């Protein structure tokens, strides 16, 4: 069996994680030079630049770009960069090359105090604030046009608080985090993409191979340090205000302030990991639909140590089933059923856990793509009215991928539901529509194909979506992402950011 999988085959870099932003917004106008620019620290960055088009933000989000800026504070805690200065181009680029925004100022922060100074500077200059940790936001919500972006890429700290608890910086990536945890035989139920930052993943929910056993990533979050909309630091503020922790478990991306420190409870790590693969090709819509219906039935019965995804890439189907406990009878039966309905099967062999996870880390350089949620489902019946038409478009129109992942298990625990704002725990299936391309001229046609499929889902009542898989064109996104939690989240917004300093196209409004 191959040791690594390509992004197009399977859990591409944003899959099973969601956006890698911590808190967000976006930018495009040339910045003006201000006093205090003479002496600046230069910061290295591994991010690349690119070029593409992006929709303009709503009018009420546009900053006053012609107002002169006040002098930037001289500080060892933060470096302020404007267009034309070294590192600006590298730091402004997110993971999605389709999204090209130009902040007026990028604040490269070294620590929590630097974040507080950056927020105060933005408020003083009436600049909307976006926050970037990993930069994996599907729609570029971790940047803005003409505002200030707080760049957290330097804040990658990791420290053990005790034998089972860790304190982690928001920009610590999964490829950095996993080895540190596994060295102590512990893990967090995170996603698969190695370059995603833990901040954005957690604050939007977060799921992966271990979530059906241990819950969403946010369910392991025990406390946060947050810098609010006035630049006030709330050290482990969620311990003083449980409502803040509730909101940060699924609704914290870019909405209330900058999370600069995260404390997690960790879980026992297995020593081995199995990846079972099944494929079928070429498929027409009818067979793709019949297999999907059976996959829904089979995946619901999987043990909690298992994870599974159905991935239709054009007319090629790939099904993944992972496990990290000794193969039990229910799993053996499920694997046998999948072999019957597919064309080829590769049974998993036990692999050492660290190397098994590395196989799914994916690419680290920015790419062109349009990915978004395609619904959270209670079961196949939620999509019966439109799914064959959806699959027909995927198999007949090159460039589209439709993926459904089986969640459920302990994600649905009542204890987790009460403690977080994540609204879709009763829906054990999460779908994503994906498209990738190599050059900007391919964008228009592929995005229109994605829109066509999203219209089918909307017309058939699919309205529940995952906030970490956003789509800037979703109507009624407030309820789609947050359900009945939205008014309560607005109350948290009014407490920590009443002036709406942290904002983007789909941020929570006070």
pLDDT at 119 > cutoff 70: yes
Domain check: are 334 and 397 in the same one?
yes
* Predicted local confidence at residue 329, as pLDDT: 83
Residues of the chain above pLDDT 90, percent:
83
Out of 37-51, 100-114, 184-198, 385-399, pick the least confident: 37-51
Q: φ and ψ at 15, to 5 degrees? A: -70, 145
DSSP string, 50-113: -----PPPPGGG---TTSPPPPPPP-SSEEEE-TTSTTHHHHH--SBTT-----SEEEEESSHH
Domain check: are 371 and 345 in the same one?
yes
pLDDT band of 448, cuts 50, 70, 90: very high
Given a contact cutoff of 8 angstroms between Cβ atoms, the answer to whether 326 and 425 are in contact is: no
Task: Tell whether 133 is covered by a domain.
Answer: no
* Predicted local confidence at residue 468, as pLDDT: 97
pLDDT band of 236, cuts 50, 70, 90: confident
Domain check: are 175 and 310 in the same one?
no
How far apart are alpha carbons 272 and 219 in whole angstroms? 24
DSSP string, 366-391: -BEE--EEEEEESSGGGGTTTHHHHH
Return the SS3 of 486: helix
pLDDT band of 86, cuts 50, 70, 90: confident
Domain check: are 310 and 351 in the same one?
yes
Q: How many domains does the chain fold into?
A: 2
Which domain covers residue 224, as residue numbers? 158-269
* Predicted local confidence at residue 63, as pLDDT: 54
Task: Tell whether 460 is covered by a domain.
Answer: yes
Given a contact cutoff of 8 angstroms between Cβ atoms, the answer to whether 324 and 155 are in contact is: no
Task: Tell whether 447 is covered by a domain.
Answer: yes
Looking at 216, 244, 269, the residue that finishes a domain is: 269
What is the distance of C-alpha 262 from the center of its chain? Answer: 16
SS (H, E, C) 450-480: HHHHHHHHHHCCCCCCCCCCCCCCCCCHHHH
What is the distance of C-alpha 460 from the center of its chain? Answer: 26
Q: pLDDT tens digits, residue range 461-504?
A: 999 999 999 999 999 999 999 999 999 999 999 999 999 999 99
CB atoms within 10 A of CB 359: 16
Domain check: are 333 and 196 in the same one?
no
The DSSP bridge pattern shows strands 186-187 and 372-377 to be unpaired
Given a contact cutoff of 8 angstroms between Cβ atoms, the answer to whether 20 and 196 are in contact is: yes
Domain check: are 437 and 468 in the same one?
yes
pLDDT band of 62, cuts 50, 70, 90: low
pLDDT at 5 > cutoff 80: no
pLDDT band of 65, cuts 50, 70, 90: low
* Predicted local confidence at residue 64, as pLDDT: 52
Out of 43-57, 196-210, 291-305, 369-383, pick the least confident: 43-57
Mean pLDDT of the chain: 88
CATH number of the domain within which 409 lies = 3.40.462.20
Task: Tell whether 100 is covered by a domain.
Answer: no
pLDDT at 441 > cutoff 60: yes
Q: φ and ψ at 461, to 5 degrees? A: 80, 15
pLDDT band of 239, cuts 50, 70, 90: confident
For tokens 């509730």, the residue is 246
Out of 11-20, 222-231, 346-355, pick the least confident: 11-20
Domain check: are 265 and 309 in the same one?
no
- Whole-model pTM over 0.95: no
Domain check: are 242 and 276 in the same one?
no
* Predicted local confidence at residue 195, as pLDDT: 93
* Predicted local confidence at residue 215, as pLDDT: 98
Q: pLDDT tens digits, residue range 198-211?
A: 999 999 999 999 99
Task: Tell whether 404 is covered by a domain.
Answer: yes
Q: What is the mean pLDDT of residues 376-389?
A: 97
CATH number of the domain within which 182 lies = 3.30.465.10
How far apart are alpha carbons 340 and 290 in whole angstroms? 12
* Predicted local confidence at residue 219, as pLDDT: 98
Domain check: are 252 and 359 in the same one?
no
Task: Tell whether 15 is covered by a domain.
Answer: no
What is the distance of C-alpha 413 from the center of its chain? Answer: 22
Domain check: are 386 and 441 in the same one?
yes
Rg (CA), the chain: 22
Q: pLDDT tens digits, residue range 261-285?
A: 999 999 999 999 999 999 999 999 9
* Predicted local confidence at residue 66, as pLDDT: 66
Task: Tell whether 223 is covered by a domain.
Answer: yes
Domain check: are 230 and 366 in the same one?
no
pLDDT at 24 > cutoff 50: no
pLDDT band of 8, cuts 50, 70, 90: very low
491-510 b/e (C-beta count within 10 Å ≥ 16 → b): ebbebbbeebbbbbbbbbeb
Looking at 269, 299, 328, the residue that finishes a domain is: 269
Q: Please tell me which residue, 107 or 9, carries the higher pLDDT value.
A: 107
Q: pLDDT tens digits, residue range 147-163?
A: 999 999 999 999 999 99
Q: For residue 274, what is the enclosing H or E element? A: strand 272-280
pLDDT at 97 > cutoff 50: yes
Task: Tell whether 280 is covered by a domain.
Answer: yes
Residues of the chain above pLDDT 70, percent:
87
Looking at 226, 246, 269, the residue that finishes a domain is: 269
* Predicted local confidence at residue 328, as pLDDT: 77
Q: pLDDT tens digits, residue range 326-347?
A: 777 889 999 999 999 999 999 9
Q: Please tell me which residue, 62 or 317, carries the higher pLDDT value.
A: 317
pLDDT band of 72, cuts 50, 70, 90: confident
Burial class (CB in 10 A: 0-12, 13-18, 19+), 438: exposed
Domain check: are 182 and 292 in the same one?
no
How far apart are alpha carbons 342 and 320 in whole angstroms? 12
Q: pLDDT tens digits, residue range 449-460?
A: 999 999 999 999
């Amino acid at each position: 069996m191959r040791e690594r999988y390509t992004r197009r085959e399977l859990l591409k870099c944003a899959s099973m994680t969601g956006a890698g932003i911590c808190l967000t917004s976006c930018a495009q106008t040339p910045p003006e030079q201000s006093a205090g620019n003479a002496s600046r620290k230069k910061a290295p960055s591994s991010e690349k630049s690119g070029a593409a088009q992006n929709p303009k933000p709503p009018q009420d989000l546009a900053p006053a770009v012609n107002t002169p800026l006040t002098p930037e504070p001289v500080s060892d805690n933060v470096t302020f960069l404007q267009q034309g200065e070294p590192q600006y181009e590298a730091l402004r680029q997110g993971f999605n090359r389709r999204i090209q925004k130009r902040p007026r100022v990028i604040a490269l922060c070294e620590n929590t105090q630097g974040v507080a100074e950056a927020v105060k500077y933005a408020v003083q200059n009436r600049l909307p604030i976006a926050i970037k940790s990993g930069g994996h936001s599907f729609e570029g919500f971790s940047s803005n046009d003409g505002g200030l972006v707080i760049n957290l890429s330097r804040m990658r700290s990791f420290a053990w608080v005790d034998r089972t608890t860790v304190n982690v910086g928001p920009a610590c990536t999964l490829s950095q985090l996993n080895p540190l945890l596994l060295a102590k035989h512990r893990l967090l139920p995170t996603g698969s993409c190695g370059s995603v930052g833990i901040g954005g993943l957690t604050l939007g929910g977060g799921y992966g191979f271990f979530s059906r056993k241990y819950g969403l990533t946010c369910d392991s979050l025990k406390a946060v340090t947050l810098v609010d909309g006035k630049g006030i630091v709330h050290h482990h503020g969620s311990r003083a205000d449980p409502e803040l922790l509730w909101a940060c478990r699924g609704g914290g991306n870019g909405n209330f302030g900058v999370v600069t420190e995260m404390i997690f409870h960790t879980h026992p790590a297995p020593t081995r990991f199995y990846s079972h693969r099944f494929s079928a090709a070429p498929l027409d819509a009818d067979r793709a639909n019949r297999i999907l219906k059976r996959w829904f039935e089979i995946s619901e019965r999987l043990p909690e140590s298992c994870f599974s995804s159905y991935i239709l890439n054009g007319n090629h189907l790939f099904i993944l089933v992972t496990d990290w406990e000794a193969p039990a009878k229910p799993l053996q039966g499920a694997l046998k059923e999948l072999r019957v309905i597919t064309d080829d099967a590769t049974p998993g062999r036990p692999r050492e856990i660290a190397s098994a996870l590395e196989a799914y880390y994916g690419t680290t350089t920015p790419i062109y793509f349009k990915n978004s949620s395609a619904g959270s489902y209670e079961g196949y019946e939620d999509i019966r009215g439109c799914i064959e038409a959806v699959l027909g478009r995927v198999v007949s129109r090159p460039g589209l991928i439709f993926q459904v992942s089986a969640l459920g298990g302990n994600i649905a625990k009542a204890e987790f539901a009460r403690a977080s704002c994540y609204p879709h725990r009763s829906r054990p299936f999460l779908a994503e529509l994906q498209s990738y391309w190599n050059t900007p001229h391919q964008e228009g046609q592929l995005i229109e194909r994605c829109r066509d499929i999203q219209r089918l889902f909307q017309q058939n009542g699919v309205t529940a979506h995952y906030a970490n898989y956003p789509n800037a064109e979703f109507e009624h996104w407030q309820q789609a992402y947050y359900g009945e939690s939205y008014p309560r989240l607005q109350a948290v917004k009014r407490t920590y950011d009443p002036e709406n300093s942290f904002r983007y196209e789909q941020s929570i409004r006070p």
